[in-house]
Amino acid sequence: MENAIETIQASRFNPKFRERVAGLVKNIDFTQCLACGMCTAGCPYSDIHENQDPRKFLRKVLLGMEEEVFADPYIWYCTMCERCTVECPMNINIAIIVRNLRGTWDRDKIPGYLQTIVREHIESGNQMNVSQVDYEETLEWIQEELQSELDDPDYTIPLNKKGAKYFYGFNARDIKYYPQELQTTLKIFYATGIDYTISTKRWDATNVALFTGKNDDFVEISMPIWEEFVNLGCEEFIVTECGHAFRSMKWGQRTFWKGEMFPIRHILELLNDLVKDGSLKLNPDAISEVVTYHDPCNTARKEGVWDVPRELARSFIKNFVDMNPGGRMNYCCGAGGGGMAMPEFNEKRKLKGKRKVDQVMATGAQIVIVPCHNCMDQMNDLNKWYPDTKGKSKNMHMCALMERALIMPEKE
Amino acid sequence: MSTEKIGAVMVVGAGIAGIQASLDLAESGYFVYLVESSPAIGGKMPMLDKTFPTNDCSMCILSPKLVECGRHLNISILTNSDIEEITGDPGNFTVKVRRSPRFVDEEKCTGCGSCAEKCPVKVKDEYNQNLGLRKAIYKQYAQAYPNAYTIDPGRCLNFKKPNSCGKCLEVCKTGAINHEMGEDVVELNVGAVVLSPGFETFNAGDLFYYGYGKFPNVVTSLEFERILSASGPFQGHMLRPRDKKEPKKIAWIQCVGSRNIREKHGYCSSVCCMYAIKEAVIAKEHSHEPLETTIFFMDMRTFGKGFEKYYDRAREELGVRFVRSRVYEVTQKDDESKNLIIRYANEDGAIITEEFDLVVLSVGLQPHRSVTELGRKLGLEMNQYGFADTVPLTGVSAGRPGFFVAGTFCGPKDIPETVMQASAAAGESSEFLSVSRGTLVRKKEYPGEKNVAGEDPRIGVFVCHCGVNIGSVVNVPGVVETARALPNVVYSGEYLYACSQDSQNTMRQIIDENRLNRVVVASCSPRTHKPLFQETMMESGLNRYLFEMANIRDQCSWVHQNEPENATLKAKDLVRMAVYKAALLDPIHQEAVSVTKAALVIGGGVSGMNSALSLAGQGYKVYLVEKSDQLGGNARRVKQGLRGEDVQSYLSELIEKVKSHPGILLFTGTEALDTKGFVGNFVTTLSNGEEIQHGVIIIAVGGAEYKPEEYLYGRNERVMTQLEIEEAIAAGDGRVTRADTVALIQCVGSREPARPYCSRVCCSKSVNLALKLKDKNPDARVFILYRDIRTYGYFEDLYSEARRKGVIFIRYSADQKPQVEEVDGKLKVTVTDHVLGQPLVIDADVLGLAAAILASPDCKKMNELLKVPMNTDGFFLEAHMKLRPVDFASEGIFMAGLAHGPKNIEENIAQARAAAGRAGAILAKSELESHGVVAVVQPDKCAACLTCVRLCPYGAPKVRNYAAEIAAVLCQGCGSCAGECPNKAIALQGYNDKMYMGMIKGLCKEVRQGGI
C-alpha cells in the first residue's frame, strides 16, 4: 500500500537501478517519461483499484526507488495489455518494463501457478501437462466423431504431414477440456479442403513465460514447436483463437528465432481469406442474434489483427455491433498478463473485468465472440461474478459461431 | 569569377519574415525580388484572428505592411514562383525562378471579383482551412496582394475539358483571364539570398486518437483561428463547423505534434501555449453566453515578453481553466450532439471524464517537405527535424556565404522573433552587399502637389466595413448617407476594406473624378492605417495633411458591439466631426533634413558590439559607448552557450573585431550624458566631454542577475546563482564539480508578484548546467526543481538529454515552494514529488538558484536621457510588441539585448543585428522629412512665460527675442505646450482650436436638430 504522507529520502535512491532496468528492456528509453499522465488515463484500471497507476510506477523506477518498485504490487496487477502506452509520445512501453521486472523474480516466488504451468509445459511439451497417450487418444476420438458427423468413414486428421501448406498450432485446453472446439475447427478445415497438418510431437502454441518474463523458459517452450514446423516443411504457421498463443508465436519468433523467418498467421486471417476466395461458404441467415467482438490485446493492439476478424464476422452475421472502444484501443478483459493463473489477485481481476462487462452491456449483444481461451475464461467468470449480466450474453469462439452458419460442400 | 557585388537581394517566402526583410532591404538601398510559391504574399499571419499578447487583430496590423510591401518601388513580387536553382558566387548569384501560370494577368486584373461570382465550381478553401468554400477562380483573402485573382487549374472546368465553361471570360471586363498562360522560367541576378519560406502545421490526423478528421467537432487551432476570424467561413461567429451551433465548452489539447518523439517531433513548437490561451480568451469574448474554456497542457510555456502576465490574467481574471494533463484520447459521444468525451488523469492521478462540445488541437509547427528539400538543394545544413540550422551565435547565418535565414524556416518561433530575425537577415545582407548599396534602386516620384489654397472644401468620405469588424455592428450605409448630407461633402461611399489595394485604386480615381481636396476615412485606427491613406493622397497630388480619420471600429463597433444602434449614432457623430474638421484643414509642408551617417550604440556587451559591428560593416561610422572599463557585459560571466558554444572565445574574438574595426570609435569608461536632436541628426555629449553627431541610437544597456533573498542565498556559501555555479564549474571549484548531490531551483525571483515575468533563459540554462555537472561527475545526483520546464524550441532536446543522463526533474507549485534548511552542514531541500505526491528530502551539497534576469538600472537612466519608455518590469517598451520588436516609438532609436527583456545570447545577437538592420535603413537615406505635425507659436501672443520650455519633453521650445520659438525638427507634435500655454499662443498644426470648435459645432448642430 502507498502511504501518501511517507517521506522519501533522495539519498536512498539507487541511481544505478534505472541503468539495470534499461539493460533489461533494451530498446525502450523509458527515461524520456514526461509524467504527462497519458498512460494513467489510458490504463482502463487506474481508477478501478489502488496501485494501478503506470505513471506512479514508472516514476519509482526513474527515481531509483528499487525497493519500492519490487514491493509494488503493480508489477503483478498490470495485465500488460499495453493500452496505457500504445501511443506514448515518448515511445515508452510499460508492459515491456513490467515483463522484464517480472523476469527478475525468483521462480519460486512468482505468484499463483504461473511457474507451475511453465514447468509442466517444458516437461510435457504442453501447458496442460497432457500425456502423449491422452493426446493421441483425444485426436483419435475427435477423428471418430468427425467421421460420423461428416458421414465420411475415411476421414482422418492429417497428422505430421510433411510439406503440408499449413501447420496448425493450438492450445492444450482444446485437448484437455474442450475437444469439441478443436473438432469444430477441424470440421471447418475439412469444409474448406485446405492442406494442413497437426503435429503429434509439438502442437501447443501457448507460452506462459510470456507473462513470467523468463526468456530462457520462453525459448525452451516455443523453440521445439518452431523446429517442428521447419521439420515438417510447412509453408505457414496458423495459430488458434488464443491471443497469448498468437502473440507468443509472433513476438517470440521476432525476438528469439534465429532461423529463416516463416509466416505466422491467426486462424481468423486464414478463414477470412477462405471466405473471400469462396472455399468457405457461410449461410448469412444462420445467425440472427446481436453479436459483438472482443479484441484480445495480444491479437489486436500488440499484433495488429482487428480489422480482419470483423470483416469475417460481418460476412455471416447480420446483426453485428462493435464494442466501443475496440480494435487498437480496446479494453483488456481484465485477466491479461497471466491474471487467470494468479488466484490471489482474483478480487482485482473481478474489479477490472467490470469495465468489460459494462462495455458488453452497452452493445446489447447476445453473443460475444471471444477469440481467446484466456479472455474466454475471464469473461465466463465475469458472467458469474456480475449476475445481472448473466445469460444476457454468451461468450463464444468465432469458429464455434461460424459452425452454425457453415455450409458443407456437396459430396462428390 | 566576378568580384562585383549585385545590389539586389532575393527573399524567398513572403510571410511576415519575407515581407519585413524585403521592406528593410528596400529601405536600405537594395532592390528586392520577393519570391512566393502561393498566389499572394502574407503567409500564415493573415489566417490568424488576433495575435498575442496584445490581442491585436492580425490582419489589421499586417495589412499596412502588405500594402507597403506590395506598392514598394524597390520590391518586385513574384508569386506562384519557386526557386529552381541558384548558381554563381556569393555577391553575384544567378537565380532561376520557375513561375507557374496564374491564368490571370496581374496587371489587368482589378480584383473586382465578378469572375469568382460567376464561376460555377465550388472548391474547399485552403485559406479557410477547408471550412468554407471558394471558387475555382479565386483570391486567397480579401486584402491579398497582388490584388488579382488566380485560377486553380486542378478544378477549373476549362482545364478538364477545353471550352466547356468560360463564364469568367464573359464577365471579365479587362480581359485579364487567359487559360492558355504557360509556365515561365526567369533568371535573376542578386547579391544575397534571404530564405524565409515558413512552416506548415502538423497534420493532426496523424494522431488518430484525437479523432481529427473523424469527429466533426475536433478542429485544429488554425481552423479555430478561421472560425474566430471576421473574414473566416462563419464571418466571425464562433460556431461548430458541422451543425453551426455555438459551443459552450471548449477544450484545447496542447502538444499535438510537438514534444512527441514517436512522431519524430521531439522539439517544442514554442508558440502553441500562447496561442491556445489567446484563442481561449478571444473565444470567451466572442461567446454570447458564458463559455467554459479548458486548456490541457504539460508545461505552460509562456516565456516571451508579456506572456506570463497574459497567462496570469487568463487564469485569474478571465476564468480560463488550465489542466496539467496530456490527453490520452478523444472519443465521440454516441448521440446526436456529437459532443466529445475526454478521460484524463489529474496531477494526483485521479481520473476525470468530461464532456466538451468542441475540441481544439493545438497543432505544432513543422517545415513543409518542399522547404526542407529546398534547403538541402541549396546545400544548407538541415537539422533532424527538417528545419535549417543556423551557424551558432550568428542568429541568421545559414552557413553558406551570401545566404541568410529568417523566421520559422530555422525553427518554430513567434511573430516578434520572426520579425526580429528578418530585420537581422536584412541587416546582414546589407552588410554583405554594402559596396553595392543604392546601385539598383528606383526612386519614387509623386505627382506635383495641387495647390488647394483658396478652393472651397470638396470633401470625400470613405466609410469602411472592415469585413464585419465594423459592418456587423454599425449600419455602414446609414453612416454613408449621413456623411453625404454634410456640408462640403461631394462624395460618400462604403468599402468592404478601405485599406485593400483595390479600394486604394478606387480612392485615387474618386479623388480625381470628384476633384476632392479633403479626404475623410471612417474606418479603424489612424495609428496603423493613417500613413497608408496619406500616401494614396500624395499619389493623387494632395498634401497628406488634408486628411482626417474617424475610428469607427475601435471606438464604435468594438466597444459598443452589443448596442448596434448607439454604435451607429456614435459613428455618425464621429464622421460629422471629422468632416467639419476636414473643411478647416490646411496643407502642412515638411522640412527635409539631412542624415548624419553615424550611429551611437550605448552598451558594450554582446548586443551592443554586434549592433556596432553590423552597422560598421554596412559602412556607417559607429560610436560605441560602454560605461565600464571593459567590453563584454554579462557575457563575461557566461562560459557556455545553450548549444554548447564556447562563449569566452566568441567574446574575445568579438571584442577584437570591435577594437580593430576602423569604423568603430570605442569609448569605454564613458557614458552618454545628454542627447539633443532627432532622428537623422542627434548630438550627444559624452562624459569625457566629447560631443558626437549621429543619425541613430541603439540602446543595449543589458540586464542584471537578481540577488536572491530566498533559499538561504547569501547566508550559506553553498547556495549559488546559476552564473555563480557556472563560474565555479569553470574555475574547477570542487564544491561544485565534485558534489554528490546538487539541487537546482527554478523561478527564483521570476514569475512572482514582484516580477510577474518569465526570465526565459533559466530553464534551458539549468538543464545545461545539470548536463555539465553530469559530464564532470557522472555519478552526481542532480535534481531540478521547476514550476514549468520551459525548454522551448530545440532546447527540448537538451531536456531530453538531461532526463536520459539521469537528471531528476521535480515540479513544485508556486504555493508549495521547496523548503531549504541547513542541517549538519548540508542543505536539506524538501519538496513534494509531483507524481508520487510524497514529500521528498534531498540532502544537497550545492544548491543552485535560477535567479531572475533583471532590467539594468541603466534602462531608467536612458528613460531620463532619451525619454524612451519602459514597461512595469523596468525593461524597454517597444513601439509595437508584434511587428516593431526593436524600435522605440521615437524614431531613430532602437533597442537590443537584455534591456528589451530576458533572452539568451543567440537571441540577443539576432536582436542586436535586427536593430542594426533597422537603423541601417535610416542611415541609408540621404535625407529624412521632419515630423509633419508640429507646434507653432504666434509670437505676438506669447508672454515668454517659459511654460512651454519647462513642459516640453523634447527640448524643442526656446525663448528668443521675448517670444518662444519651436524648432520644427525637434518637435514631436505631442501638443503638451499647446494645451498648457496660458495665452493660447501655441497651436498644433492640424489640431488648432478653430478646428475643434468646428468639430463641436458639427456635433451639436446635429444634436439640436435631433431635438435633445
Are B278 and B52 spatial neighbours (Cβ–Cβ below 8 Å)?
Answer: yes
3-class DSSP state for residue B254? strand
Is pLDDT of A1 > 50?
no
pLDDT in tens, B758-769: 999 999 999 999
CB B225 within 8 A of CB B234: no
Interhelix angle for B647-660 vs B606-617, to 10°?
40
Q: What is the per-residue pLDDT for B531?
A: 79
Q: Each residue of B266-282: pLDDT tens digit? A: 999 999 999 999 999 99
Confidence of residue B1 (pLDDT cuts 50, 70, 90): very low
Least confident window among B223-227, B234-238, B889-893? B889-893
Q: Could you say which of B329, B344, B808 has the minimum Cβ distance to residue A329?
A: B329
CA-angle at B763, arms to B760 and B769, nearest 5°:
130
**Per-residue pLDDT at B113:** 77
Which residues, at least 6 apart from B1012, have a Cβ–Cβ distance to it below 8 Å? none
Using a CB-CB distance cutoff of 8 angstroms, which residues of chain A are in contact with residue B344? 37, 41
Give the tens place of pLDDT for each residue, A211-248: 999 999 999 999 999 999 999 999 999 999 999 999 99
Task: Tell me how far apart the alpha carbons of residues A301 and A287 are, in angstroms, rounded to a whole number.
Answer: 28
**Contacts of A388 by beta carbon, 8 Å cutoff, 6+ apart:** none
Which of chain B's residues have a Cβ under 8 Å away from the Cβ of A34? Answer: 259, 298, 326
Of residues B207, B261, B840, nearest to A90 (C-beta): B261
Burial code of A165-198, b = ≥16 C-beta within 10 A, e = fewer? ebbbbbbbbbbbebbebbbbbbbbbbbbebebbb
Least confident of A387-396, B141-150, B424-433, B715-724: A387-396
User: Chain B contact for A47, CB < 8 A?
Assistant: yes
Cβ–Cβ gap B843/A37 under 8 Å: no
- A71 has a chain B CB within 8 A of its CB: no
pTM of the full predicted structure? 0.90
Cα dihedral B634→B640→B643→B644 (10° resolution): 160
- Report whether B139 contacts B148 (CB < 8 A): yes
pLDDT tens digits along A281-300: 999 999 999 999 999 999 99
pLDDT at res. B1011: 38
DSSP helix/strand/coil, B306: coil
What is the per-residue pLDDT across B948-980, written as a single tens digit (0 to 9) for each?
988 887 667 889 889 999 878 778 788 999 999
> What is the ipTM for the molecules in this complex?
0.95
What does the alpha-carbon distance between residue B306 and residue B321 come to, in Å, rounded to a whole number?
Answer: 20
What is d(CA A296, CA A240) in angstroms, rounded to the nearest whole number?
13
3-class SS at B150?
A: strand
Q: What is the pLDDT at residue B958?
A: 83
- Dihedral of CA atoms B943, B948, B951, B956 in degrees, nearest 10, equals -150
B528 falls in which pLDDT band (50, 70, 90)? low
Q: Any chain B CB within 8 A of the CB of A27?
A: no
Q: What is the pLDDT of residue B771?
A: 97
With CA atoms as reference, report the closest residue to B631 among B700, B682, B689, B690: B700
Do residues B801 and B807 lie in contact, with contact meaning Cβ atoms separated by under 8 Å?
A: no
Query: Using 50, 70 and 90 to split pLDDT, how confident is the model at A412?
Result: low
Is B788's pLDDT higher than 70? yes
Residue B257 in 3-state DSSP? coil
The pLDDT of A2-24, averaged and rounded, is: 87
**Residue of B269, B324, B325, B328 to mutate, testing the A interface (most A Cβ within 10 Å of its Cβ):** B328
**One-letter amino acid for residue B113 of the chain:** G
Reported confidence tier of residue A155, pLDDT bands at 50, 70, 90: very high
Q: Which of A10, A55, A329 sits opposite B840 (nearest CB)?
A: A10
Grid coordinates 540586464 are at which residue? B703
Mutation site, A31, A60, A82, A83, interface B, largest B CB count within 10 A: A31
The C-alpha cell that represents A105 in the structure block: 523474480
- Residues 820-839 on B with a CB inside 8 Å of A are 833-839
DSSP string, A245-300: HHHHHHHHHHHH--S----EEEHHHHHHHHHHTTSS-B-TTSEEEEEEE---TTTT
User: Does A10 touch chain B if contact means CB atoms closer than 8 Å?
Assistant: yes
pLDDT band, very low/low/confident/very high, at B498 (cuts 50, 70, 90): confident
> Are B326 and A36 inside 8 Å of each other by CB?
yes
Contact B66, B60 (CB under 8 A): no
Nearest CA in chain B to A16: B779
- Mean pLDDT, residues B906-918 taken together: 97
Chain A contact for B261, CB < 8 A? yes
| Rounded Cα distance, B425 and B419, in Å | 10
Indicate which of A1, A9, A38 best probes the interface with B, i.e. most B CBs within 10 Å of its own CB.
Answer: A38
Give the integer Cα–Cα distance in Å for A125 and A224: 9
Query: What mean pLDDT comes out for the span A249-256?
Result: 98
pLDDT at B527: 65
Closest residue of chain A to B845, computed from CA coordinates: A11
Hey, is the C-beta of A9 within 8 angstroms of any chain B C-beta?
yes
How many CB atoms neighbour CB B812 within 10 A?
Answer: 18
Whole-number Å distance between alpha carbons of B368 and B385: 11
DSSP structure class, residue A307: H
Distance, in Å, from the CA atom of B975 to the CA atom of B971, rounded to the nearest integer, reads 9
Mean per-residue pLDDT, A321-344 = 96
Q: Which residues pair with B135 in a beta bridge?
A: B122
Place of cell 576602423: B662
| A391 pLDDT more than 80 | no
pLDDT of residue A3: 47
**Neighbouring residues of B876: CB distance < 8 A, sequence distance ≥ 6:** B699, B855, B859, B862, B868, B869, B870, B888, B895, B899, B900
The predicted structure's pLDDT at residue B326? 98
- Write the CB contacts of A305 (distance below 8 Å, at least 6 apart in sequence): A246, A266, A268, A269, A299
- CB-nearest partner of A88 from B255, B262, B351: B262
Q: Residue A49: its chain B contacts at CB < 8 A? A: none
| Any A CB within 8 A of B473 CB | no
B993 vs B70, B512, B984, CA distance in Å?
A: 38, 31, 9
B740 and chain A in contact, CB less than 8 A: no
